[in-house]
Structure 1
Amino acid sequence: MPDGPDARAAADGHPARPARLSAVPLPGTDRLPPPWPGEQVAVRGGEVFVRRTPWTGPVDGAAAGAPRERALYVHGLGGASTNWTDLAALLAVRFDGWALDLPGFGRSRPPARTSYSVRGHVAAVVDVLERIVAEPGEAAGRPVHLLGNSLGGLVSLFVAASRPDLVATLTLVSPAMPVYRVPGAFSRTLLLLLLPGIPALAERRLSGVTPEQQVRGMVQVCFGDPRRVPRARLDQALAEMRERAGQPWATRALTRSMRGLITSYLRVGPRNAWRLARSLRPPTLVVWGDRDRLVDPALAPRLAAAVPDARLQVLEGVGHVAMLEAPEPTARAVLALAEDAAAAAVPDQARASWPAARRRPATRRHRAVSTGAGRP
C-alpha cells in the first residue's frame, strides 16, 4: 500500500460511513445524451471551456418547490469535460451543472504562463466556482456541489480546503492522492517525467501515439470492464482524441500536468493533501472502483477515514472513472449527500431566524459544561 508520514497521520481517523443511496427517480439510461454545449469563460491567466448541463427537475415533471442547486465537475489527467456527460444528465434532476476543461485540456487553451501546476488548476476551478455562485437565478449566492475525478479530485480537495465558502458538498471519484510508489499501469514514457530535464523526450514519444491507440489504452487502463463502454462513447472519445491531436499544446499539457501532479506529492507539512483532508469542512463522499488500476483502491477507506464524517462508496468491478462506468449508483450517492446536507442546513436556517435574544451565544459556564472543561 502507498505509504508516507502524511498518509499515515491522515489514516488516524474514524471508519467512514457507507454511502447512502438516494431513492429519487432518475432519467432512463437507454439513450446516451450527446456532449453538452459550452462556452469559453475567463479565468486568471486566460480562458477555459465550460459545458453547461441545465436543470431538468424531477422525472415526473413536478418542478414546483423541487430543489434546484448547482454543481461543478472537474475531470482528471488527460480527460475533458465530456467525461461527466452521463452523470451530469442524471444529476440534472437536482443540479444545474457546469463541467470545465482544465487549462490545456479539452477545448481549453494553455494558461498564459504555460504552467500546469496543481496550484494553477486550483486557481482556474476557484475562478469558475466564483462565477457560478454569482450567476443570477435560483441558488445564486449559494455554495456549489463540487465533484472531481483523479487529478480533478485532488484539485477539488485543495479547492474545498482553501475555499470552503464556495463548496456545498465534495465528491471525490478516485482522487489522485499522494502516493509513494508509481502504479504499474503507468507507461514507461510517463515514468520519464520523474527524471529532471526529461519532459521534452516524453512529449516526443507520446506525440507518436495515434488517437486510436490512445483510446484503446485509455479504455484498458481506466475501466474495470472495458466491455461496458458503449460504442457511441468510444466513437466520441476517438473524435475527441483526433481533435486533440490537432492542438499543438496537447501533449505538453499532459506531460507537464503529470509532472505537476508528481511535484505536488512531494509537498510535506500542512499543505500536504493528506493533512488537508483532515481539515475538510464540506460534507464529503469518496467514490472508488475496486478495479482501479491507476490509484490504489486501498486508499479509499484511508481517505474516507481521514476526512471528517465522510461517506465511502466502493463499486464492485469498476475502474478509475466511476462516473463513466457506473453513473447511476454514483449519481444516487451524490444525490443522497446533497439531500442530507440540505436537511442538516434546515436547523441552522431556523436558528438564524430566531429573535436576537434567542441567538445569544452560550454563557461561559454553559460552554465549560458542554466541552467537558472544568468550572471557571
Structure 2
Amino acid sequence: MAAIGASLCPAASFPAHRREEPSHTVLKLKPNRIPIMPPCFALSVDRVLETTTTAISANNGVASVKVNGEEGISAEKEKRGENKKEEEELNRRSGWRSYVEQLKEISKQDGGPPRWFSPLESGSRLDKSPLLLFLPGIDGVGLGLTLHHQKLGSIFDVWCLHIPVADRTPFTELVKIVEKTVRSEHQRLPNRPIYLVGESLGGSLALAVAARIPDINIVLILANPATSFDRSQLQLLTPLLQAMRGPLSLFPPEILSSLSGDPLRLLDKLVSGFPLQNTDREILEDFTTFSGSLPVLANILPIETLQWKLKLLKSGSAYVNSRLHAIKAQTLILCSGNDQLLPSQQEGERLRQLLPKCELRKFQGSGHFLFLEGSFDLVTVIKRASFYRRGKYHDYVSDFLPPTINEAKEVIESNSLINTVTSPVMLSTLEDGTIVKGLAGIPSEGPVLFVGYHMMLGLELVPLISRIFMERNILVRGLAHPLMFTRKETTIVPDLSAYDGHRVMGAVPVGPTGFFKLLSSKSHILLFPGGMREALHKKGEEYKLFWPEQSEFIRMAARFGAKIVPFGTVGEDDIGNLIFDYDDIVKIPFLKSALEDLAKDAPKLRTDVVGEVGNQPVHMPGFFPKVPGRFYYYFGKTFETEGRKLELKDREKAHELYLEVKSEVERCLDYLKEKRESDPYRSIISRSLYQVTHGFTSEVPTFEI
C-alpha cells in the first residue's frame, strides 16, 4: 500500500430516519418561521425529549456529486450549483435580518425555565444520525445556528437550548440541565456520539459538561468559547452598562423600532454624552451587530439581563478553567480573528495545548458571532475537519459526506494556480485501445483503481483529481499518508488544517482497511505504490518507479472485480529543478538533527518493508523553480479483474499482473516524455500568447496524437 500527497504540499437523497420510541413532547418549530413559544409547549427540564426528523432536499443535504461514477448531475442540480454562490451572497446580506426577525418572536416573555426545542420538522436524514445539542451564546435564545439548520438537519438530529430572557438559572444549574439530557440520550443510544455545539457562553457550557462526563462519547464544536473572559475586554462593559442605564430607559422599544439606520450611528446618538474610548466602541460594534438593531437588543438583552449574562460568563469561565484537565472529548475549536469581545485566537491556541484531542480552525476576517455570518458554513467546516462520525470512531469511508458542488469547486478554485500554471493535458485510452484527448477512456462504473507515478511533492494531485471531477463528475478518493489525519506536536509538519481540502475531497488514510472499504463501496481510488519514496525522490531519479515487491493490491482489487487503470504523469522537471535532496540534508548536522526529531513524531509506514522502498523519512527537499512548463497525464489501457478472483489468489499470477501494470505505467511515462517534445505550447509563454489571441478561457492545444 502507498500514500498520496506525500509530504508537505498542503496544497442523493437519504432514507428517512426517525429516532426510536418517541415518548415526550418537544416544541416543533417550522423551518422558515419561528413562532412564539407558548407556555403550553414548554418542556420541563427533567424530561427527556422526543426528537423530530428533518425535511431536507437532497441538494440541500450532503451529496450532489457522483462518487462512484454511477449517475451524472442533472441539469437542475447543475443550475442549483451555479446559483449557490449568488444565494450565499444573499445570505450574507440577509442572515442577520433573518435572525433578528426570528428573535422578535422567540424572545417574548414566556415565564418558563430553560428548555430544548427542535427547529426542524420531519423529513429525510442520514441513517443513524447523531444527536446535536446547540448551546447558545450570550443571547440565550437558541437561534444561533439559524443559517445552518437545514444542512445540519440532513446529517444530525438537532436540538437547541432556549434560555428565556428573564431566566436567572446559575451556570452550574445550566450544566446539570445539559448533563442530564446527555446522560439520558447516551443511555438510550449508547453507540452514537452526542455533539455539543456551543458559541461563546455555550462553549464554556459544553466544556463544563464534557468535564463532568468524560466517559460518554461526546464531540465538542466550539465557536469562540468564553473561557477567556478574565482576559477579555467584555469586563469593560460592566461600568459602561451602568452609565447607559439612564439614556436607554428614555427610549422604549416601541420608539426604537420606528427608527432606522446603522445601529452604531444610532448608538452614537444615544451615548453621545459619554466619552467612549476606541476600544469601547469596538466592543459595542461587535456586540450590537449580533442583534441587528437596537429594538431587538432592548428586548433580548435589557440592561439587567446583560449584566446577568456577564456574571454567567465570569462564573462559567472560572468553572471550566479549573476543570480542563478532566476533558477527554474530541474537540474542534473555531476561532475568529476579528473578535472584539474575546481574545478568541489566543484562547484557541491555549485550549489546543491543554486538551488532548483538540483541533483548531481560524477564520481571520470573522467577528465574534461566527455562526451568524453568511459566508460561514458549519457543515462544510465539519466535513473539512473530518469531524462527522456516527460511531465511537470516525470511519473515513462509511462516515464520509461527499462534497457538494460548491464545496468541491471551492477546493478546486483554492488550488487554481497550479492548474493555470501547468495547463494540464489529459489523454486516456478507449476500450479498443485508441488514445484520445480528454478523459472519455476512464471507466464510469466502480470500483476503479488508478495506479500511477507520484511526482515530486505530489504536485500532480490537484490537476488530476480536479480535472476528473470537472469533466467526468467522478470523485477520486486517494489513499493518503497518515500525517494528513493525525496531528503531532512538532511544528515542522504542517497543521492539519493545511490538508482540509484533501479530506473534503475524500482522502483516506492509507492502509488495508481503508482500501478494502473503498473497494467494497465501488469507489474510484487513487493509489501510488511508490508512495513517499517517489514523491520525495532524489536528484536524477525523476520518473523512476519505486514500487515494492509485494503485489497485494492486485489480489485485493481482484476480490472486488475492480478495474485497474495505470497512468503516467510528467512535467515536474518542466516547472523546477531538484537541487537539495535527502542525501544533502543529512550531511548538515542541525538539519539532520531536525529530521531525527521529526521522525519520532511523524506516522510510520511500511515498517515491515526492507530497503529504500520502506518507510521514507519526511523532509522538505530544495526545489528551484523554472519558467513553468506543462503537466501531461496519460491513462493507459484498463486491466480487468472481474471473474479472475480465484486465478489471482495465486501469488505468482497476481505478481504477473502486477508487473504488467507497472510496465504499463512506465510505457505511459515514456510516451509522454517523447510526445511533449513536439508540443508547441509546452512553455507558459507560448500558452499565454495563445490565450491572449484566442481568449483566456480557451483550451490550449497540444501535440498531435
TM-score, length-scaled by structure 1: 0.59
CA contact (8 A) 2:333 2:358 kept: yes
Query: What SS class does the counterpart of residue 252 from structure 1 fall into?
Result: helix
Shift of 1:157: 0.6
Instruction: Name the structure 2 match of 1:48.
Output: 114
SS in 2 for 1:85: coil
Determine if contact 2:135/2:203 at 8 Å carries over to the other structure: yes
* Residue 284, structure 1, aligned to residue 335, structure 2: no
Question: Residue in 1 aligned with 2:693?
Answer: none
Higher deviation after alignment, 85-94 or 144-153: 85-94
CA distance in 1, matches of 2:304, 2:187: 33
2:221 aligned with 1:221: no
Runs of 5+ consecutive residues of structure 1 not aligned to the other structure: 1-19, 26-32, 193-200, 348-376
1:97 deviation in Å?
A: 0.4
Q: Structure 2-normalised TM-score?
A: 0.34
Query: Does the 8 Å CA contact 2:220/2:329 hold for their aligned counterparts?
Result: yes
Distance 1:40 1:239, change over 3 A: farther
The aligned residue for residue 306 of structure 2 is 254
Alignment of 1:266-285 (within 5 A): 267=318, 272-285=319-332
Task: Measure how far apart 1:67 and its partner are.
Answer: 4.1
Does 1:315 find its partner at 2:363? yes
Residue range with higher mean Cα deviation, 170-179 or 252-261: 252-261
Q: CA deviation at 1:77?
A: 1.3
CA drift at 1:305: 2.0
CA offsets per residue over residues 77-103 of structure 1, 9 Å max, x none? Answer: 13421122112322112101011112x
Residues 1:178 and 1:299: Cα distance change in structure 2 (over 3 Å): closer
SS at match of 1:295: coil
**Number of aligned pairs?**
277
CA distance in 1, matches of 2:362, 2:252: 33
Query: Where do residues 110-129 of structure 1 align in structure 2 (5 Å cutoff)?
Result: 110=167, 114=168, 116-129=169-182
The structure-2 alpha-carbon separation of the partners of 1:328 and 1:184, relative to structure 1 and needing over 3 Å to count, comes to closer
1:86 to 135, 147, 150: 147
For residue 243 of structure 1, report the CA deviation from its aligned partner: 5.2
Alpha-carbon distance between aligned partners in 1 of 2:172 and 2:121, rounded to the nearest angstrom: 31
Q: Are the structure 2 counterparts of residues 203 and 70 from structure 1 closer, same or farther at C-alpha, using a change threshold of 3 Å?
A: farther
Q: What is the identity, as a one-letter code, of the residue corresponding to 2:369?
A: V
Report the equivalent of 1:294: 341
When residues 328 and 257 of structure 1 are mapped into structure 2, their CA distance, relative to the original with a 3 A threshold, is closer
Is the Cα–Cα contact under 8 Å of residues 76 and 150 in structure 1 kept in the other structure? Answer: yes
Any stretches of 5+ residues in structure 2 without a counterpart?
1-9, 15-30, 47-110, 265-282, 397-705
Q: 81-90 or 207-216: which moved more? A: 207-216
SS of residue paired to 2:226:
coil
Considering only CA atoms, is the larger Rg found in Structure 1 or Structure 2?
2
Relative contact order (C-alpha < 8 Å, sep 6+): which is higher?
1
The 8 Å contact of residues 186 and 294 in structure 1, kept in 2 or not, is answered as no
For the residues of structure 2 that align with 1:202 and 1:239, how far apart are their CA atoms?
Answer: 15
Q: Once the two structures are aligned, what percentage of the paired residues are identical?
A: 21
Q: Distance in 1 between matches of 2:353 and 2:33?
A: 35
Residue identity in the other structure for 1:280: I
Rounded to whole Å, the distance in 2 between the matches of 1:146 and 1:166 is: 12
Q: Is 1:34 aligned to residue 32 of structure 2? A: yes
Alignment-mate amino acid for residue 330 of structure 2: P
- Classify 1:326/1:342 alpha carbon distance in 2 versus 1 (closer, same or farther; 3 Å): farther
> Any idea what the Cα deviations from partners look like across 1:168-210, whole Å, max 9, x if unmatched?
2011110101444441794354576xxxxxxxx8867765565
Partner of 1:7: none
Contact 1:74–1:153 (CA<8 Å) still a contact in 2?
yes
Q: For 2:223 and 2:176, how far apart are their aligned partners in 1?
A: 20
**How far 1:122 sits from its partner (Å)?**
1.3
Backbone CA RMSD of aligned residues: 4.3
* Alignment equivalent of 1:151, drawn from 186, 195, 201: 201
1:346 CA drift (Å): 6.6
- Once the two structures are superposed, residues 324-353 of structure 1 have per-residue CA deviations (whole angstroms, 9 ceiling, x without a partner) of 115644322235454257472679xxxxxx
